[in-house]
Amino acid sequence: MRRRDALKIGGGAALAAPLVRAGSSVEAALGSSPPPAPRFFSADEMALVDELTEMIVPADAHSAGARAAQVASFIDGRLADAFLPADAEVRQRWRNGLARVESLSREMHGAGFLACRAEQRTAVMARMAANEEAPKAPEELFFRELKAQAVRGYYTSKIGIHDEMEYKGNTLLAEFAGEVPSD
Amino acid sequence: MPPLLRVAPPPDPEVDLETVYDAVIVGSGAAGGTAAHVLTARGLRVLLLEAGRKLDMRSELKSMEWPYDHPRRGEMPPDRHALSFNEYTIRQPPYAEGSPYGRVHSYVQGWGGSDYSRNIVVDEKDHPYTGTRYAWVRARCLGGKTNIWGRLALRLSDLDFKARSHDGYGEDWPIAYADVAPYYDKVDLYLGIAGHRENLPHLPDSLFQRTSRLNPSELRLRGALKRMGRVLTPYRAGVTTDGLKHNKYRSRCLGRGACARRAGGCDIHAAFDSPTGFILPAADTGRLTLRTNSTVREVTVDAATGRARGVAFVDTETGQELEARGRVIVLAASTLESTRLMLLSRSPARPNGIGNSSGHLGHNFCEHVMGPGVLGLVKDMVGRPRTLDDGRPGGFYIPRYRNLSDRHSRFIRGYGFEGAGGAGMFAGMATRTPGFGAGFKKAVRDQAGAYVHIGGFGEVLPRYESQVDLDPQVKDRWGIPVLRFHYAFGDNEKKMCEDMADTAREMFEAAGIEVLEVDRKVLTEGWSIHELGTARMGGDPKTSVLNAFQQSHDVKNLFVVDGSSHVSASCQNPTWTIMALAWRSSEYLADELRRGNL
């Protein structure tokens, strides 16, 4: 079976430890409609997650980014639907992580993250991402978790699959892509 | 897109348990489906019992559902859990014991969207097992694991059937390639298989339909391997790519994708599954009676004659205890479940189970070891326009190259690799791509089609001490004693895995593919879902359970037509061999019944 490439390349299941064990039920509402009211995050936290995820996967000339794909709502829904007591720790990690972004921003620039200018925000995130391979500091650990969920939310969205990645599946093909070996 | 199943399945006939059927088949997967087809085609009246329920194939096979159309993007509801590699490693079975989750599933749930196959595999809480660690994946539903199988359809050769003659270890099979080849042909033609002819003696070609194709990364690797005297061939898929005139339930492959997400099942049944490949056509003969939700607990025996009389089973919906009777009993419940059933069929005359005068029942367990592999990036492919690599039934296969004519100094037998290059539906590599922002996003986009990966499947040697038996205490949801494992990989497997990782890297380097990661980790026993042996065939009733036609040496009207009969595992994926052997034995069974020998 192709468990290996499912794991490595396309399947997606193994992409990262799940945020929490469950997902959100707000998915169906996502799309062109305005984002639903947050169920786990406060309004301030939601705005912060929205900006952070957009900074990870921004809109560019090729396609829209995490904001348009409502990735913050995706993350909010997953945290809201957490099931186990252990998931409470995950929720707390997010609360603490977002608070750490704010305090880091104040340390670096003397202002909260969303009050900073774009290049100041980028500097904060660069600090968070500095040790991505082997994160140790709280903000570094939080960046890994934030990015994993931003990736999950964005690249499973309509925008991520179709506009950004131009996935060609679910179309009828007369012939497979590629070549038959000539020998 | 609406499902393309063209013809609705016929309604279930009334199940008459007063009748003595010509044959009662236990299990509806690859082996049971084959037996149902061949026996009904030969005019036998057959009762097919399946432990699980019937899937509604129109609504439950979700190979093409978009993640964003799913309420949790493909993940299971909050109260369900899929076991992780870590849990299998640090804990002992039964893995679901004490779990706070409502339901617990095997690791395949974590494989491409956990919600897409939870309707197919069992809840580990209902179906525990004990002993040494083992990642046992079980599907209890009509068609069993064929609803989600990997579809790599390979033949064995005499290098496998006569492995002892080649290297002195274990036992030869009581059959040779020439005995099985005509039945591989029948399976090829009846079910359809895609592939490319390579003329390899150790991996015989099938009667192929239209092959899937290789993308530039894969062609490059093929070229490098050729220079090394090795082969990379397009995935030999148990998928009909040209269609089947004789089967109205299956469409030809339309190359749509998402084929990497096997867990959803193929909604147009181009990929073989037992319900549309065998069972619905068998039902159309009018000679097949199907009963689902029928969990067999033992083979019943006529005390006067010692012959199998029927099977005792529980109706899992009503809890009713019932018996079905047949002139012949055919076990096809999957490798370990068929053996469990034989062990459960105990009596004072047979304290160790039915058909076990040899004492070998449950022993000589074997399978495939997995884990080592390599992930690489083909620089030339970065930034190329997207192609539908995921619309193919699979990527490629690299057949065994160890211990063919040479002899490796550290291990016997061999391994092959499965692999693929190109992009799938989900850009899973994004989490491994460093950074953030526009540069990160572009790198993910540009590199998605440039990755290529291979993972090995190696032969695990059968050993007498690799065994399953019945746990004296633990029972499943139906009060049936569960299996207990006494099994672990040995030294040969560990050394083989080291070589797998080394040669995987060597091949990528020879092809000029940038190596991003070499995986040397060996996955938990059972991970391959290729469990084999425990009721092996053989010429000598003292050292084998079944004869060359998968017939019990002890009880002539008892056949075991699944992977439990295999003498050794080879390194090729077993499904096609399971079906070829079941076909051969079923023809023999029908002939013997007609001759009055059963």
pLDDT for position A28: 38
- Better-scored residue on pLDDT, A43 or A27: A43
Give the residue on B whose Cα is nearest the Cα of A122: B437
pLDDT at A162 over 50: yes
Closest CB from A20, A27, A179 relative to B71: A27
Report pLDDT for B42: 98
Residue A128 confidence class, pLDDT cut points 50, 70, 90: very high
Cβ pair B386:A27 closer than 8 A? no
- Average pLDDT score over residue span B54-83: 84
B373 contacts A27? CB cut-off 8 A: no
- Residues paired with residue B290 on neighbouring β-strands, in sequence order: B48
Residue of A10, A168, A173 with shortest CB distance to B260 = A10
pLDDT over 90 at B113, yes or no? no
Q: What distance in Å separates residue B113's CA from the closest CA in chain A?
A: 6
Above 60 in pLDDT, residue B97? yes
Distance CA A99, CA A119 (A): 20
pLDDT at A86: 66
Distance CA B513, CA B541 (A): 52
pLDDT classification of A9: cutoffs 50, 70, 90: very low
The string of pLDDT tens digits covering residues B263-302 is 667 889 999 999 999 999 999 999 999 999 999 999 999 9
What's the angle, vertex CA B259, arms to CA A9 and CA B206, rounded to 5?
A: 110
Q: Is A21 in contact with B78 (Cβ distance < 8 A)?
A: yes
Tell me the CA distances in angstroms from B135 to B106, B132, B476, one per residue in order. Answer: 7, 10, 17
In angstroms, the separation between the Cα of residue A20 and the nearest Cα of chain B is 9
pLDDT for position B11: 55
**Contacts (Cβ under 8 Å, ≥6 apart) of B533:** B335, B363, B364, B365, B366, B462, B466, B563, B564, B566, B567, B568, B569
Q: What percent of chain B stands above pLDDT 70? A: 96
Predicted pLDDT at A32: 57
B416 φ, ψ to 5°?
A: -125, 170
Is position B435 within any domain?
no
Nearest CA in chain A to B455: A4
Q: What is the pLDDT of residue B263?
A: 66
Domain interval for residue B94: 56-140
- Over residues B127-150, mean pLDDT: 95
Are A84 and B101 in contact (CB < 8 Å)?
yes
DSSP H/E element including B518: strand B514-519
- Among B71, B222, B426, beta carbon nearest to A10: B426
Residue B72 lies in a domain: yes
Which long-range contacts does B544-550 make (Cβ < 8 Å, 24+ apart)?
A: B544/B171, B544/B174, B544/B358, B544/B360, B545/B342, B545/B355, B545/B356, B545/B358, B545/B360, B545/B361, B546/B355, B547/B174, B548/B174, B548/B175, B548/B179, B549/B584, B549/B585, B549/B588, B549/B589, B550/B581, B550/B582, B550/B585
Which segment of A61-70, B78-87, B363-372, B551-560 scores lowest on mean pLDDT? B78-87
Would you call A1 and B419 a contact, using CB atoms and an 8 Å cutoff?
A: no
**Mean pLDDT to the nearest integer, B321-330:** 98
CA separation, residue A123 to residues A49, B80, B435, B581 (Å): 17, 40, 13, 65
Q: Which residues of B touch A170 (CB under 8 A)?
A: 1, 64, 66, 256-258
Residue B570 has pLDDT above 60, yes or no: yes
- Identify the band that residue B513 occupies on the pLDDT scale cut at 50, 70 and 90: very high
| Average of per-residue pLDDT values in chain B | 94
Q: What is the pLDDT of residue B428?
A: 86
- Judge whether B76 lies within some domain: yes
Residue of A nearest to B375 (CA): A8
Per-residue pLDDT reduced to its tens digit, B350-369: 999 999 999 999 999 999 99
**Residues in chain B within 8 Å Cβ distance of A161:** 66-68, 425-426
The mean pLDDT value for B123-134 works out to 97
Q: What is the pLDDT of residue B112?
A: 58
Per-domain residue ranges for chain A?
Answer: 41-164
In a mutational test of the B interface, the residue from A124, A170, A171, A182 whose CB has the highest number of chain B CBs within 10 Å is A170
Q: What angle do CA B338, B344, B345 make, to 5 degrees?
A: 95
Q: What is the mean pLDDT of residues B145-169?
A: 96
For A69, nearest residue in chain B (alpha carbons) = B68
H or E segment at B295?
Answer: strand B294-301
For B525-548, the pLDDT digits (tens) are: 999 999 999 999 999 999 999 999
Quote the percentage of chain A above a pLDDT of 90: 66
* Predicted-complex ipTM score: 0.90
What is the pLDDT, as a whole number, of residue B225? 98
Count structural domains, chain B.
1
| pLDDT higher than threshold 80 for residue B375 | yes
Q: How confident is the model at residue B59 (pLDDT cuts 50, 70, 90)?
A: confident
- What integer pLDDT is reported at residue B146 of this predicted model? 95
pLDDT in tens, A51-105: 999 999 999 999 999 999 999 999 999 898 876 666 788 899 999 999 999 999 9
Max intra-chain CA distance, chain B:
80
Do B441 and A164 make contact, defined as CB atoms within 8 angstroms? yes
Q: Compare all CA atoms of chain B with the CA of A22 and give the residue at the minimum distance.
A: B78
What pLDDT was estimated at residue A109?
Answer: 98
- Would the pLDDT of B71 be above 90? no
Residue B476 pLDDT: 97
Residue that wins the pLDDT comparison between B586 and A28: B586
Q: What percent of chain B has pLDDT over 90?
A: 84
**Confidence at residue A20, expressed as pLDDT on a 0 to 100 scale:** 38
3-class DSSP state of B330: strand
> Does a structural domain hold residue B400?
no
Which tens digits make up the pLDDT trace of B200-223?
999 999 999 999 999 999 999 999
pLDDT of residue A7: 35
What pLDDT was estimated at residue A10? 35
pLDDT > 60? residue A3: no
